[in-house]
Structure 1
Amino acid sequence: MLGRGRTGSGKTLAFGLPALAKLARCDAPTRRSRPRALVLLPTRELAGQVRDALAPLTEALGLEQTVVYGGVGQRPQEQALRRGVDLLIACPGRLEDLIGQGLVDLDRVEITVLDEADHMSDLGFLPAVRRLLRRTPANSQRLLFSATLDGEVDKIVREFLHDPRTHSVDRAAEPVPDMTHHVFTVRKDDRNAVIRELAGGHGRIMLFTRTKHSARRISRQLTAAGIPASELHGNLSQNARDRNLGQFRDGDVRVLVATDIAARGIHVDDVALVVHVDPPSEHKAYLHRSGRTARAGATGDVVTLVPPEERDEVAKLTRKAGIRPRAANVGPGAHEITALVGEAAPLVSAPEPQERPQRQEPRSGARTEPRSDRSGSGRPRRRGGRGGGRRTAGPTTGAAAGSSGSGSARRSR
């Protein structure tokens, strides 16, 4: 099966429902390290979204699923695979690592799904995808989903999909009908103030930047200005990415500042506004960023902030994307911003930095703890205390130091 549809068009359930139904009909046992269905995805965020979307279905059908991707510890993934898995949701890099260690075998895969194939190509994953597909049985079912079907994606189709049924829910360049596009030309001196005003409304908003540094800086500037924001980029650990995305999804913060890593795989309801703080480099990135709003029939707005010297480049980009944006020159307080954002939300005071407690002067004869808990060798010192273990030569505190006859020797050391 070969499917094409814009982001937010329901591809996860389009492949998840029939794949799980097929697995449930076949009364095959769940085997250790040998999945029966495989879903390949380009990013951790997208893998996590598919896992969450299909988890209630696999549980209801009595099937086992797990997800594997890099950037986190491998041990829990190994343990889940050893317990047995029917559906494996994976990013190519970590899956190849696990196969190389003999922890996964794809020889029992009945269904393989390749999701966001065009993004796989953009990230350079298709050679790994080819190697993985060659490990699945040649007569197994394969489904490929992509917003575009050109270039490297077409090579995958010709090699691995034999006489596929094709289904497109829209044309590749068809604009989303409920999404309104705006291009705001902003002078450099007004840029930060305009960003604050766009982020200051009551609705959920996503800001996209080109670099991790910009995402971090803007997130912290907004928070300091009374508009709590989370950041999402590749320099964060997976736990931090999950936490920040969870804050945005749960409504703890209304603003998420992200790089293109978040342009796919994030489904958060009711994102009212997407702002391209930095215009994307090409039209496909524009469409995928913009696709975080106006999902599943909802309405949404997309704003691109453009320096005056980049207007021609952005005009070319929007033409390639097949859209006709509303253009305006704006500055702080412009009515175009007020019309989009509405009434500004109340500002939230940033938490005050806590003062360090004053150091207490030690009692006569008492020892104080060193500031560092590391010895000269760089290894952590073990605290003295009860137990049969040998006490180290590290310093002790209080009466223990005063009562020890060798205290002065330890001090000199």
Structure 2
Amino acid sequence: MPTSPPNARQSPSRASQGGNTRRRAPRSRNNNRSPRTPAAPKPTLFDEVGVTAVDPAPFDQLGLPKALVRELARTGLTEAFPIQAATIPDALAGSDVLGRAQTGSGKTLAFGLPMLADLHGTSTRPLHPRGLVLVPTRELATQVTDSLKPMAKALGLYVREIVGGMSFSRQADTLRRGVDLVVATPGRLNDHVRQGTCVLSDVERTTLDEADQMSDMGFLPQIREILNHVPTGGQRLLFSATLDGDVDRLVREYMSEPVVHSLTPSAASVDSMDHHQLDVAAADKHDVLTRIAARDGRTILFVRTKHNADRLTRKLRAAGVHAGALHGGKAQNARTRILDEFRQGTTTALVATNVAARGIHVDDVSLVVHVEPPADPKDYLHRAGRTARAGATGTVVTLVTDDQRRAFRTMADKAGITPTITKVRPQGEGLARLTGAREPSGVAVAEPKPQTSRKSGSGASRSAPRGRAGASRNGGGRRSDAQRGAHRT
């Protein structure tokens, strides 16, 4: 059941609106009516606390178990990022924590380390996890799990992702053996709860990561259903870039007097990027895109639909660009393979729908391209956030044709950005200077062969251990770059 709203929140009283006594003003033949002044937005808890000033701190001074500190040091991590230094002590003390920090700032370890520390030393019953992390996408679930597995292994704990696109029965078997910390997407977790293959009555600590993105994706009803199964009195950690609407209600209904840490205002990450509006003739757009995609470095090109992603990828590969498509219509093993190739540099241009804007963390993405201007400023900011991670800089460009200029200006104003406007041609100096565009090789890149060694949707390595015995369950064969990237995910 929901808890009482946090005492720290002070909602301003609404101005009187006149109720049923309001009379309709007579219609005037002229349009010289006074413009209405928009109502000021309600202050949120982030607004009330302002920006938290916290310096980095050594992990060994935050109260973490020595085994965790040793494992962090083994992977080269000795100093906590500001969001970690701010939130870990409060989380270890048992407080509910509400946090905001930009992408790539280290939120995964900020909530993951204290959760693992608190779960250490007690046992987990079959089907009854004691820790729960909810995330918006399958890819983010896998990244969070990969980041936390080495830390869990050091404490003899088991972390497992529960997401769609993978075998339900295999996940149920894993849950029956006992999982200490579940990292899940809301839809698949609810499926397990309804089927009785996951019981949430023992959950002591719950984290909602990227809560605003889950809200935007329509997950709020499923999140409420999950939280209503979690016992009251347990710890709640929530990380979100904004507290708009539904997220604010989640905070008031399911958190108890949270400690609030807001390390960056919502538009802070925008300042570390260069934003460009590239005015392009419709007839030149494909050639411009091809030359941009052929540049050196990792590039993400965002499109609106799955069909457009596949079509553009085929055209780029035919021109000699090592491109891959990522969207929700692909099987999970294909999505995992494409992301791995992009991280490793085998694929340099990722053509994606919004599935990659919401929770995909890949380091060293130096350029984000909006193939079509997004209509929603949140979509623009989520997509742009795939570059300029962890204090790095990056470039965001939007291709704008004549008929799109007015709509893009309106969206840019709402997003709080002022792009530099440049008219570009495929072989123009301006395009090459801003994006590194160059002529593609023209040698077609062969399509990847379909994988036949793994059943579709299985989502599990055949070498994965099946026993419940101690630390070996955490998958020692995982990629080493998961450890190297753990600090910033």
Same fold (TM over 0.5): yes
After the TM superposition, which residues 325-344 of structure 1 pair with which residues of structure 2 at under 5 Å, given as runs?
325-342=419-436, 344=438
The counterpart of 1:133, out of the listed 227, 234, 248, is: 227
Q: Distance in 2 between matches of 1:351 and 1:223?
A: 5
Match status 1:8 vs 2:115: no
Q: 1:160 aligned to 2:254?
A: yes
CA contact (8 A) 1:49 1:265 kept: no
Structure 1 residues 296-355: Cα deviation after superposition (integer angstroms, max 9, x where no partner): 1222100011111111111121122112111111111122221133373762722579xx
CA apart distance, 1:7: 2.3
Q: Deviations over 1:355-408 (max 9, x none)?
A: xxxxxxxxxxxxxxxxxxxxxxxxxxxxxxxxxxxxxxxxxxxxxxxxxxxxxx
Paired with 2:412 and 2:291, the residues of 1 have a C-alpha distance of 24
**What does 1:355-394 align with in structure 2 at a 5 Å threshold?**
none
Counterpart of 2:84?
A: none
User: What corresponds to 1:378 in structure 2?
Assistant: none
- What amino acid sits opposite 1:255 in the alignment? A
Q: Report the counterpart of residue 248 of structure 1 in structure 2.
A: 342
Distance 2:140 2:373 in 1: 23
Q: Please give the alpha-carbon distance, in whole angstroms, between the structure 2 residues aligned to 1:152 and 1:346.
A: 46
Equivalent residue pairs, number: 351
Quote the offset at 1:134 in angstroms: 1.2
1:208-219 pair list within 5 angstroms: 208-219=302-313
Distance 1:321 1:280, change over 3 A: same
Give the drift of 1:280. 1.3
CA contact (8 A) 1:65 1:86 kept: yes
The aligned runs of 1:1-400 (5 Å cut-off) are 1-24=97-120, 27-342=121-436, 344=438, 347=441, 349-350=443-444
Percent of residue pairs bearing the same amino acid type: 53
SS at match of 2:271: coil
Q: Deviations over 1:97-151 (max 9, x none)?
A: 1111111111111110011111111111111111111111100000111111011
1:45 and 1:264 in contact (8 A); partners too? no
Shift of residue 253, structure 1, vs aligned partner: 1.1
Cα distance 1:345–1:59, how it changes in 2: closer, same or farther (>3 A)? Answer: farther
Unaligned runs of 5+ in 1: 354-413
Q: Please report the TM-score for the alignment, with normalisation by the length of structure 2.
A: 0.70
The answer (yes or no) to whether the contact 1:175–1:323 under 8 Å persists in 2 is no
Q: What amino acid does structure 2 have at the position aligned with 1:8? A: G
**What is the root-mean-square deviation in Å for CA atoms of aligned residues?**
1.5
Partner of 2:31: none
CA distance in 2, matches of 1:290, 1:205: 12
Is contact 2:358–2:383 with CA below 8 Å preserved after alignment?
Answer: yes
**How many angstroms apart in 2 are the aligned matches of 1:342 and 1:131?**
48
Query: 1:161 and 1:135 mapped to 2: Cα distance?
Result: 15
Mapped partners of 2:445, 2:241: distance in 1: 43
The SS at the match of 1:246 is helix
**Amino acid in structure 2 at the alignment position of 1:213:** H
Structure 1 runs, 4 residues or longer, greater than 4 Å off: none
Partner Cα separation in structure 2 for residue 204 and residue 114 of structure 1? 29
Mark the runs of 5 or more structure 2 residues left unpaired by the alignment. Answer: 1-96, 448-489
Distance 1:92 1:339 in 2: 43
Amino acid at match of 1:162: S
Per-residue Cα deviation, 1:22-67 (whole angstroms, up to 9, x for no partner):
222xx21122111111001111111111111111111122110111
Q: How high is the TM-score relative to the length of structure 1? A: 0.82
